[in-house]
Amino acid sequence: MTTPLAEVAGSNATLRAFLHGLPGVDRVGADQRAAILGTRSIKTTAKAQALDAAIQMVDLTTLEGADTPGKVRAMCAKAVHPDPDDPTVPSVAAVCVYPDLVADAVAALRGTAVKVAAVATAFPSGRSSLEVKVADTTLAVAAGADEIDMVIDRGAFLAGDYRKVYEEIAAVKAACGAAHLKVILETGELATYDNVRRASWLAMLAGADFIKTSTGKISPAATPPVVLVMLEAVRDFFARTGRRVGVKAAGGIRTAKDAIKYLVLVNETAGEDWLTPEYFRLGASSLLNDLLMQRRKLATGRYGGADYFTLD
């Protein structure tokens, strides 16, 4: 890694040389380390803090073709007051919706600290022209989105056309203006941990504010070893550049137990500076209720039951 980073993106050849010059990921080592960290137990007091931290890091998500303005408004109400009977429960970080529902979410969240994230760039496949992807982003930002979750062109990435992926991310970042850009790698389609590391660096070089595992539409989605590899990438990128990029684990995260495993992974890999909604998010459509149930169980000794809370 001797090329100055400013020169790395000059051509596809320089990008390829840089990305393929990154140290290879020890697959067995990454799997084992993630598994070991996943078994770490934490004290009851730390668990209470971890549950609240996890709630504050949730991007409460609905990404269905059948989404309606009413469903988004209900989700926004839940995002602000996850448990209306318990005002001590913190709000989540953001809601995440399709671009056409941004205006409804913005109206519902006005005056609150909850951000509005929009998936853009022909989510989830990313199969459209750059013009369409930039327009998708521009419209979502104009409607009030604070954050844009874009997908990379996995076809171009897997074909080795890194420059195309870089240019798309840079163009979408420019279209974001003040909005934060989360770049979805769709790790379940990248085949190897080495590719996850390369895609992470490529996204960061192109200007990502966050790197995100998955769309939630492909299996496997977020897994602890993949998130570990991404956390190592943001840590190493920060050491090299002084710029702190966030990580969003998204897709298939359903339980408080799994959410806490990710927080342990963040703490042990990137460090506690990343343990804030500014730098770590959990993208999930149906995690919040389990976090609320476990929180209540810890406070009262009893489970409230899933039907006690409004639907995720």
Ligand X SMILES: O=C[C@H](O)COP(=O)(O)O
**Active site amino acids:** 149, 212, 248
Q: Which tokens hold the place of 229?
A: 């590899």
Q: Which stretch binds ligand X (CB under 6 A): 98-106, 192-200, 260-268, 280-288?
A: 280-288
Between 215 and 223, name the residue whose CB sits nearer to ligand X.
Answer: 215
**Under the criterion CB under 6 A, does residue 15 sit at the interface with ligand X?**
no
E strand segments, 37-170? 58-61, 94-97, 115-120, 147-151
We find the least distance from the C-beta atom of residue 62 to ligand X, in angstroms, to be 8
Q: Are 182 and 208 in contact (CB under 8 A)?
A: yes
Binding letters toward ligand X, positions 142-161, x by CB under 6 A: --------------------
Residues in binding contact with ligand X, number by CB under 6 A: 13
Distance between CA atoms of 54 and 45, rounded to whole angstroms?
Answer: 14
Between 265 and 284, name the residue whose CB sits nearer to ligand X.
Answer: 284
Closest CA to 75 of 300, 289, 249, 304: 289
> 49 to 88, contacts with ligand X by CB under 6 A?
61, 63
We find the least distance from the C-beta atom of residue 286 to ligand X, in angstroms, to be 6
Among 126, 207, 246, 283, binds ligand X (CB under 6 A): 283
**Under the criterion CB under 6 A, does residue 90 sit at the interface with ligand X?**
no
We find the least distance from the C-beta atom of residue 96 to ligand X, in angstroms, to be 5
We find the least distance from the C-beta atom of residue 79 to ligand X, in angstroms, to be 14
**Under the criterion CB under 6 A, does residue 284 sit at the interface with ligand X?**
yes
Report cis status (omega within 30 of 0) of the bond before 220: yes
Q: Are 234 and 244 in contact (CB under 8 A)?
A: yes
| Residue 231, φ and ψ in degrees, nearest 5 | -65, -40
Closest CA to 149 of 69, 94, 205: 94
Pair type for strands 180-184 and 58-61: unpaired
The number of residues making up the chain comes to: 312
Task: Give the list of residues 6+ apart from residue 193 with CB closer than 8 angstroms, or none.
Answer: 25, 27, 30, 225, 226, 229
**Under the criterion CB under 6 A, does residue 99 sit at the interface with ligand X?**
no
**Under the criterion CB under 6 A, does residue 97 sit at the interface with ligand X?**
no
Among 188, 225, 246, 251, binds ligand X (CB under 6 A): 251
Closest CA to 288 of 271, 267, 308: 308
> 185 to 224, contacts with ligand X by CB under 6 A?
215-216, 221
Q: Which residues bind ligand X (CB under 6 A)?
A: 61, 63, 96, 215-216, 221, 250-252, 283-286
